[in-house]
Amino acid sequence: MQSRLAEIEIKLTFAEDMLEELSKTVFRQQQQIEKLQKELHSLSLQLQNDDTQTSPRDLRDEIPPHY
C-alpha cells in the first residue's frame, strides 16, 4: 500500500510540474500572439496609408525587368 501511495505521489508531482510548464508555454504563446496581432494591425495601417498616398501606378512599372 505504501509503495502504491508513493508511486501516486510521484506521478502527481510530475503531473504538477508538467502542468506548470504547459501553463508557462501557453502564457508565452499568448504574449507572442498579441505582439503579432499588434504588428499585423500596424502593417495593415501602413499599407492602407501607402495605398491612399501613392499616385496611380504606370503599367510599365508592373512589367518584370526581364521583358
Backbone angles phi, psi at 57, to 5 degrees: -85, 150
- Taking only the tens place, the pLDDT of each residue in 7-63 is 999 999 999 999 999 999 999 999 999 999 999 999 999 998 887 766 666 666 677
| CA–CA gap between residue 38 and residue 44 (Å, rounded) | 10
Q: Supply 61's cell numbers.
A: 512599372
Q: How far apart are alpha carbons 31 and 25 in whole angstroms?
A: 10
Boundaries of every domain in the chain: 1-35
Query: What's the alpha-carbon Rg for the chain, to the nearest Å?
Result: 27
pTM flag (> 0.75): no
